[in-house]
Amino acid sequence: MIDWGKVFGEALGYQEFLAKYGSEAERGKWAAIHDRVGLTEDQKGVIGGFVRKMPVLCLAGTWCGDCVYQCPILDHIGAANPSAIEIRYLDRDALPEVSDLLRINDGRRVPTVVFLSEDFFEVARFGDRTLSRYRKLATDQLGPSCPTGLVPPPDDELACVTSEWVDQFERAHLILRLSGRLREKHGD
């Protein structure tokens, strides 16, 4: 059984992750997307209403086009309620045992997110792409391909993916909020 608290403790904040693992060019790609991400007032309201502490671990790679596209969204979500959400990033290759545990379709796919309870029990997992992103790729591609992050997504596509990530965070928070164990612990 994996000790998620230990893994979370070894993971890095957004900027620290980029500084340690990203080249200047990669950091530039991430920054360009980060500057374009925006949460709606409704999304900020949903996230701002979270009351349970929710550590979130994101397995990622600075070189990964899907991470370039989605991890800045996660950073904005965490910044919308830092008292409840703490997101840390772990390089896909830093702890192979974690990458192996989080395999999707027998691949080390990134980004993969693990939502945790305040006492580091796994609540939910989600990755590597949202449904709207898969639909878009299915429409655009005729064979295997890996996005490079070189071509930024259109604003409407970015907004849709952002909305889907907000939904995943809300789902995990509701699991925590409705947990009998945690409700008893917090008296609510």
pLDDT tens for 1-21 read 899 999 999 999 999 999 999
> Tokens representing 1?
């059984």
Please tell me the predicted confidence (pLDDT) of residue 154: 82
Contacts of 155 (CB under 8 A, 6+ apart): 36
Decide the pairing of beta strands 122-127 and 85-91. unpaired
Domains and CATH numbers, the chain: 4-186 (3.40.30.10)
Position of tokens 């609540």? 123
Asked, as a colleague might, if the bond just before 152 is cis with ω within 30 of 0, I would say: no
CA nearest 78: which of 15, 30, 21, 148?
Answer: 15
Q: Read off the pTM.
A: 0.91
The alpha carbon torsion through 39, 84, 181, 188 (nearest 10 deg) reads: -90
Q: What is the pLDDT of residues 56-92, one digit of tens each?
A: 999 999 999 999 999 999 999 999 999 999 999 999 9
Please tell me the predicted confidence (pLDDT) of residue 185: 95
